[in-house]
């Protein structure tokens, strides 16, 4: 199991400054060795571009509170660090400084004069390849042990490079120190850090175990806290936990909070960006379509096509491709190849205007998906009054026939396109075998009625017609103008009163 | 300010005729006294007593690390009869100041013959509390011009629980040589110093040397090697000490070089009046081009009470009794006897001028001294006031440095020290 380490995130200026600060304070803390004449400052710290390779080779134990595994880490990147300080070059001066009592130091006359030389030390070309064991347990923390010596090589360069003896000395010393760091210091540090972080965790766990299986949030008020380190109120924590859990399930029992009106997280559902829909996919290709963000439904507003009609073909092609890829992604290979539904629009007595050419190329769907209540976004100049449809229970017979008969292309759709959406378009959309649902279908005659209006009579008539013409067989009938995959019988869809 | 034990050690040296100025480490003693004086840290009380002519004890308390102190004992095999308590001591003896370099050829011989100082020794020990740190010193005279000085400390905080340093010193008028060995890092050192000047020529009768020609040039060198850490050290120095013939005011110039580091240090010290001394020091490094200029001065102030002026004892023909000579040990000039009929009056005048100043300095009754020292590179200034209040010698000082990061002056050291001896 290997990990992808996003090394570029470390190349942040703020993080680099923070690291430099922490390193500088750490290096200068404590008693500085007598050979240093001034503080150590970090001249340059660069994490490089290449990330280390971290891989878990084997997992020995995996449990809720325990983990044991063997990991492998490799690094061959361009990390480098430059330090700057001053060193005492006069050893007798160091002798004089170190001697504990001036009573027994001879009085040097200028032989112990201070002489400080600046020193730059650069560590680079670190090659690390190590295999180690990670053991984590919630009660004991994290321990990390290297099986081998992880440091392969490191390049140490300094201002004393011209003096071969000193350069070799520095190289050897620093190599030894870094090997020690990996084998001894690093495991200890990580262990202590893990203990520190787990301490807080342990407090909360202890708390919940102490609270036991209390379902009611109100009974936690009597709880007394022994642990003073805990900064959160136990009662509030318990209540928050209950609330969180209730939202994850379908449970109707929502814990009540005082003086708070709760709303479910609507933006999870409403926010367009959280769910992929056609508009978002379209707007990713055409950035100017982002202004049409419609928060109320999943449909694509018609203005996309009206306003940018020089790009209509392009947009339609995009919509088609998006829907095609979507379909093929989610169906297996055996599924029947769907066909695009075509709707021929007949322009009857209406004068065709320039817009109608635009309109004919844009089919209109009379059937929408049940989940998307398509709110028509255009206003028909002809329809002045809109009646809100109300559901009504209807007799199950002949419903379908009436439905088919009665449906014709409503005139309102001749000149304007109500909506082009997932469920609205027939050519571009493949509606899987679903039942008829409420749809904004309008009868030709009654202009005063809303576009959500369904003329059931006509539908039923048409259905009966078809029934008589041929035997109803469950099968695929492609000649149907509605492009259904099959004409099937079903009991009443909730019709609308007319 | 010397502690009482250091003062007694100086008295011992004077008693046996040991010229401390002839040791190489004191070649820059004058400028060190004016520029590198130490400021007391915290409060320190030093109470000492010379119980007999041969022994003394001292007790100190200071407030470093809450409270700590020490107890010291000293024993000398020759009687130290010329010491003064803090009530009567003259400030010139108690406080390190301008050191007049004098050839002590004659004094040496006279004093040595008088005293049975062939195998004199000085023992000293100090015990610190709390904790168990001890220090001890032994000065043993081996021959007329040779002495062995052993110092050791015992401290459980040290890695080997203690250190010992041994000096083998040979001190003659014309030159001095030293061999030093320390167990701390196995340090070995060799030092030597040569005096040049006509007044040191032993062939010429010292009585005939005109007094105005009393400039002394000293050249010395030291070589060190710490065997354990293989660290070398080397330096050479030159000192020119003379006196102005018209006014008698002494001046000293030194030049010291460390060839390994390329460091050069030159100082110039002059006593501008009886009560004031000025000093300047310039350091330069040939490799790093770093330089530093230090300036310092000291100002004495006279005591208010009327002091009985002693007449210049030049014309006095004091009989060389033991007590007389020992009593005049402060002013070495007074031990130098010139019979008036041997020299002309002209030289006597010059002599009078050059020695008058020195006598005046020695005889003046000062009550306090203010020392100021600055260092331009370190951006530091030291102030020290030392004086006598009632019977106690008080020394108080402050060290002010400019903080390199915040550029504000801050006080580095502040302290006061009281010393009483009887």
What average pLDDT does range A119-133 have in this prediction?
91
Q: Per residue, what are the HEC states of chain B?
A: CCCHHHHHHHHHHHHHCCCHHHCHHHCCHHHHHHHCCCCCCEEEEEEEECCCCCEEEEEEEECCCCCEEEEEEEEECCCCCCCCCCCCCCHHHHCCCCCCCCCCHHHHHHHHHHCCCCCCEEEEEEEEECCCEEEEEEEEECCCCEEEEEEEEECCCCCCCEEEEEEEEEECCCEEEEEEEECCCCEEEEEEEEEECHHHCCCCCHHHCCCCCCCEEEEEEEEEEECCCCEEEEEEEEEEEEECCCCCCEEEEEEEEECCCCEEEEEEEEEEECCEEEEEEEEEECCCCCEEEEEEEEEEEECCCCCCCCCCCCCCCCCCCHHHHHHHHHCHHHHCCCCCCCCCHHHHHHHHHHHHHHHHHHHCCEEEEEEEEEECCCCEEEEEEEEEECCEEEEEEEEEEECCCCCCEEEEEEEEEEEEEC
Closest-CA distance of chain B to residue A116, Å: 9
Give B272-294 pLDDT, tens digit per residue: 988 999 999 999 999 999 999 99
Note the pLDDT of residue A223.
46
Looking at beta carbons, which residues of chain A come within 8 Å of B257? 110
B214 pLDDT higher than 80? no
Give A227-241 pLDDT, tens digit per residue: 455 577 778 888 888
Domain parsing of chain A, residue ranges: 2-196, 328-498
- At B208, list the tokens: 């005939």
User: How many angstroms separate the CA atoms of B112 and B107, rounded?
Assistant: 8
Query: Of B25, B260, B265, which is closest to A106 when you measure between CB atoms?
Result: B25
Q: What is the value of pTM for the model shown?
A: 0.61
Give A438-447 pLDDT, tens digit per residue: 555 544 454 5
Reduce the DSSP state of residue A44 to 3 states and report it. strand
Closest-CA distance of chain A to residue B233, Å: 5
Q: Which of A5-9, A56-60, B227-231, B235-239 has the lowest mean pLDDT?
A: A5-9
User: How many angstroms separate the CA atoms of A135 and A335, rounded?
Assistant: 49
Looking at beta carbons, which residues of chain B come within 8 Å of A100? 153, 155, 157-158
H/E stretch holding A118: strand A116-137
**Residue of B183, B193, B219, B235 to mutate for A, most A C-beta atoms under 10 A:** B235
Looking at beta carbons, which residues of chain A come within 8 Å of B185? 95
What average pLDDT does range B207-219 have in this prediction?
73
Note the pLDDT of residue A364.
42
Q: CB A432: neighbour CB atoms within 10 A?
A: 11
Round the average pLDDT of chain A to a whole number and report it.
72
Query: Of A89, A94, A111, which is closest to B224 when you measure between CB atoms?
Result: A111
Locus of tokens 């202009």: A447
Cα dihedral value A379, A385, A388, A393, nearest 10? -120
Query: Of B157, B184, B233, which is closest to A111 when you measure between CB atoms?
Result: B233
Closest-CA distance of chain A to residue B185, Å: 8
Give A263-295 pLDDT, tens digit per residue: 666 666 556 555 667 777 777 777 676 666 665
User: How many angstroms separate the CA atoms of B256 and A138, rounded?
Assistant: 68
What average pLDDT does range B290-313 have in this prediction?
76
Alpha-carbon separation of residue A353 from A248, A258, A356, A357, A414 (angstroms):
54, 62, 5, 7, 10
Task: Check if CATH label 3.40.50.2300 holds for domain B4-421.
Answer: no
Determine the residue of chain B that is closest to A90 in CA distance: B261
Note the pLDDT of residue A482.
44
Q: DSSP for A290-331?
A: GGG--SS-SSBPTHHHHHTGGGHHHHHHHHHHHHHHHHHHHS
Note the pLDDT of residue B13.
92
Q: Do B258 and A111 touch (CB under 8 A)?
A: yes
H/E stretch holding A116: strand A116-137
Q: Which of B130, B127, B156, B131 shows the shortest CA–CA distance to B67? A: B130
Using 50, 70 and 90 to split pLDDT, how confident is the model at A347? confident
Looking at beta carbons, which residues of chain A come within 8 Å of B234? 111
Give B339-358 pLDDT, tens digit per residue: 555 445 555 555 667 778 88
Long-range contacts of residues A205-214, Cβ cutoff 8 Å, at least 24 apart: A205/A138, A207/A234, A207/A237, A208/A237, A208/A238, A208/A241, A211/A238, A214/A238
- At B196, list the tokens: 């040049």
Using 50, 70 and 90 to split pLDDT, how confident is the model at A477? very low
- At B266, list the tokens: 């030159």
Between B253 and A5, the more confident residue is: B253
A331 pLDDT higher than 90? no
Query: Of B153, B185, B233, which is closest to A103 when you measure between CB atoms?
Result: B153
Q: Which of B22, B35, B27 shows the shortest CA–CA distance to B253? A: B27
Give A174-190 pLDDT, tens digit per residue: 999 999 988 888 888 88
Give B69-81 pLDDT, tens digit per residue: 999 999 999 998 8
What average pLDDT does range B208-235 have in this prediction?
85
Note the pLDDT of residue A2.
79
Between B318 and A336, the more confident residue is: A336
Looking at beta carbons, which residues of chain B come within 8 Å of A117? 288
- At B146, list the tokens: 């040779």
Between A433 and B205, the more confident residue is: B205
Q: Which residues contact B229 (CB under 8 A, 6 or more apart)?
A: A91, A95, B185
Note the pLDDT of residue A447.
54
Q: Please list, residue by residue across B101-128, b when 16 or more beta carbons sit within 10 angstroms of its beta carbon and e when fewer do.
A: bbbbbebbebbeeebebeebebebebbb
The most confident of A46-55, A288-297, B176-185, B208-217, by mean pLDDT: B176-185
Note the pLDDT of residue A17.
87
Using 50, 70 and 90 to split pLDDT, how confident is the model at B206? low
Using 50, 70 and 90 to split pLDDT, how confident is the model at B338? low
Whether residue A92 lies within 8 A of chain B, CB to CB, comes out as yes
Phi first, then psi: what are they for A312, rounded to 5°?
-60, -45
Locus of tokens 């102190």: B69
Using 50, 70 and 90 to split pLDDT, how confident is the model at B106? very low
Cα dihedral value A403, A408, A411, A412, nearest 10? 50
The most confident of A308-312, A484-488, B114-118, B168-172, by mean pLDDT: B168-172
User: How many angstroms separate the CA atoms of B354 and B248, rounded?
Assistant: 4
- At B160, list the tokens: 């080997």
Whether residue A90 lies within 8 A of chain B, CB to CB, comes out as yes
Using 50, 70 and 90 to split pLDDT, how confident is the model at B146? very high
Note the pLDDT of residue A255.
76
Q: Do B258 and A110 touch (CB under 8 A)?
A: yes
H/E stretch holding A239: helix A234-248
Q: Which of A78, A214, A87, A92 shows the shortest CA–CA distance to A155? A: A78
B204 pLDDT higher than 50? yes
Q: CB B207: neighbour CB atoms within 10 A?
A: 12
Is residue B21 within 8 A of residue B29, CB to CB? The reply is yes
Domain parsing of chain B, residue ranges: 4-421
Is residue B220 within 8 A of residue B194, CB to CB? The reply is yes
B242 pLDDT higher than 70? yes
Between A159 and A292, the more confident residue is: A159
Using 50, 70 and 90 to split pLDDT, how confident is the model at B378? confident
Q: Do B285 and A115 touch (CB under 8 A)?
A: yes
Q: Percent of chain A beyond pLDDT 70?
A: 60
A204 pLDDT higher than 90? no
Note the pLDDT of residue B109.
52
- At B382, list the tokens: 């030291």
Between B289 and B66, the more confident residue is: B289
Closest-CA distance of chain A to residue B136, Å: 9
What average pLDDT does range B101-130 have in this prediction?
71
A35 pLDDT higher than 80? yes
Give A366-408 pLDDT, tens digit per residue: 333 333 433 443 444 444 566 677 776 665 556 666 666 666 5
Closest-CA distance of chain A to residue B194, Å: 16
Size of interface A-B (CB pairs under 8 A): 91
Using 50, 70 and 90 to split pLDDT, how confident is the model at A323? confident
A196 pLDDT higher than 90? no
Is residue A462 within 8 A of residue A403, CB to CB? The reply is yes
B237 pLDDT higher than 80? yes
């Amino acid at each position: 199991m290997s990990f992808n380490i996003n090394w570029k995130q470390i190349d942040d200026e703020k993080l680099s400054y923070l690291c430099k600060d922490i390193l500088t304070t750490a290096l200068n803390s404590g008693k500085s060795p007598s050979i240093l004449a001034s503080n150590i400052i970090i001249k340059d710290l660069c994490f490089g571009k290449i990330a280390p390779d971290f891989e878990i080779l084997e997992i020995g134990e995996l449990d809720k509170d325990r983990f044991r595994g063997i990991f492998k880490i490799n690094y061959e990147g361009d990390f480098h660090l430059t330090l700057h300080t001053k060193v005492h070059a006069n050893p007798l001066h160091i002798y004089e400084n170190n001697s504990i009592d001036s009573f027994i130091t001879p009085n040097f006359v200028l032989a112990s004069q201070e002489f400080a030389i600046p020193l730059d030390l650069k560590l680079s070309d670190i090659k690390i390849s190590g295999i180690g064991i990670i053991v984590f347990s919630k009660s004991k923390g994290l321990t990390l042990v290297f099986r081998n010596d992880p440091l392969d090589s490191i390049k140490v360069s300094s201002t004393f490079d011209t003096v071969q003896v000193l350069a070799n000395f520095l190289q050897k010393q620093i190599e030894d120190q870094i090997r020690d760091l990996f084998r001894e210091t690093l495991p200890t540090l990580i262990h202590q850090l893990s203990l520190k972080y787990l301490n807080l965790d342990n407090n909360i766990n202890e708390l919940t175990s102490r609270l036991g299986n209390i379902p009611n949030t109100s009974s936690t008020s009597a709880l007394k806290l022994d642990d003073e380190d805990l900064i959160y109120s136990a009662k509030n924590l318990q209540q928050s936990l209950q609330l969180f859990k209730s939202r994850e399930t379908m449970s109707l029992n929502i814990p009540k909070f005082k003086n708070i009106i709760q709303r479910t997280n609507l933006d999870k559902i409403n926010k367009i960006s959280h769910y992929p829909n056609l508009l978002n996919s379209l707007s990713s290709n055409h950035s100017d379509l982002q202004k049409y963000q419609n928060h109320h439904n999943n449909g694509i507003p018609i203005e996309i096509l009206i306003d940018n009609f020089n790009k209509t073909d392009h947009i339609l092609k995009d919509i088609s491709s998006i829907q095609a890829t979507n379909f093929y992604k989610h169906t297996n290979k055996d599924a029947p190849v769907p066909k695009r539904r075509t709707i021929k629009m007949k322009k009857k007595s209406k004068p065709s205007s320039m817009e109608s050419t635009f309109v004919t190329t844009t089919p209109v769907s009379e059937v929408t998906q049940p989940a998307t209540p398509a709110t028509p976004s255009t206003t028909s100049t002809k329809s002045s009054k809109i009646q809100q449809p109300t559901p009504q229970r209807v007799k199950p017979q002949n419903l379908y026939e009436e439905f088919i008969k009665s449906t014709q292309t409503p005139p309102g759709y001749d000149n304007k396109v109500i909506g082009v959406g997932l469920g609205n378009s027939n050519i571009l959309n493949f509606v899987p075998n679903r039942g008829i649902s409420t749809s904004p279908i309008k009868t030709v005659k009654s202009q005063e009625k809303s576009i959500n209006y369904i003329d059931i009579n006509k539908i039923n008539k048409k259905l009966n017609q078809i029934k008589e013409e041929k035997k109803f067989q469950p099968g695929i009938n492609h000649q149907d103008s509605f492009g259904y995959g099959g004409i099937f019988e079903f009991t009443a869809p909730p019709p609308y009163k007319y | 300010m010397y502690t009482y034990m250091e003062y007694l050690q100086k008295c011992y040296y004077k008693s046996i005729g040991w010229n401390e100025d002839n040791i190489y480490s004191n070649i820059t003693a004058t400028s060190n006294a004016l520029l590198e004086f130490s400021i007391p840290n915290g409060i320190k009380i030093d109470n000492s007593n010379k119980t007999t002519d041969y022994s003394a004890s001292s007790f100190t308390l200071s407030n470093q690390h809450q409270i700590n102190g020490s107890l010291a004992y000293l024993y000398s095999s020759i009687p130290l009869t010329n010491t003064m308590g803090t009530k009567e001591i003259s400030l010139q003896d108690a406080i390190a100041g301008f050191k007049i370099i004098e050839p002590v050829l004659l004094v040496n011989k006279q004093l040595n013959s008088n005293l049975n100082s062939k195998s004199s020794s000085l023992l000293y020990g100090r015990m610190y509390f709390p904790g168990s740190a001890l220090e001890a010193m032994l000065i043993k005279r081996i021959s007329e011009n040779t002495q062995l000085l052993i110092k050791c400390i015992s401290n459980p905080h040290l890695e080997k629980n203690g250190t010992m340093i041994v000096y083998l010193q040979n001190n003659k008028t014309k030159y001095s040589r030293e061999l030093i060995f320390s167990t701390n890092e196995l340090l070995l050192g060799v030092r030597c110093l040569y005096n040049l000047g006509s007044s040191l020529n032993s062939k010429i009768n010292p009585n005939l040397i005109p007094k105005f020609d009393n400039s002394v040039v000293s050249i010395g060198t030291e070589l060190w090697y710490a065997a354990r850490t293989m660290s070398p050290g080397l330096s050479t120095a030159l000192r020119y000490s003379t006196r102005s013939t018209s006014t008698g005011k002494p001046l000293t110039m030194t030049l010291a070089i460390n060839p390994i580091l390329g460091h050069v240090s030159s100082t110039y010290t002059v006593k501008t009046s009886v009560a004031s001394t000025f000093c300047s020091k310039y350091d330069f490094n040939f490799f790093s081009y770093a330089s530093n200029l230090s300036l310092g001065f000291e100002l004495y102030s006279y005591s208010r009470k009327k002091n009985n002026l002693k007449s210049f004892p030049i014309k006095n023909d004091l009989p060389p009794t033991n007590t007389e000579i020992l009593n005049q040990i402060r002013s070495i000039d007074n031990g130098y006897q010139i019979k008036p009929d041997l020299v002309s009056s002209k030289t006597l005048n010059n002599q009078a001028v050059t020695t008058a100043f020195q006598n005046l300095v020695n005889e003046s009754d000062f009550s306090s001294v203010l020392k100021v020292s600055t260092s331009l590179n370190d951006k530091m200034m030291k102030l020290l006031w030392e004086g006598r209040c009632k019977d106690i010698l008080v020394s108080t000082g402050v060290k002010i440095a400019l903080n390199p990061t915040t550029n504000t002056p801050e006080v580095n050291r502040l302290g006061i020290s009281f010393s009483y001896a009887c």
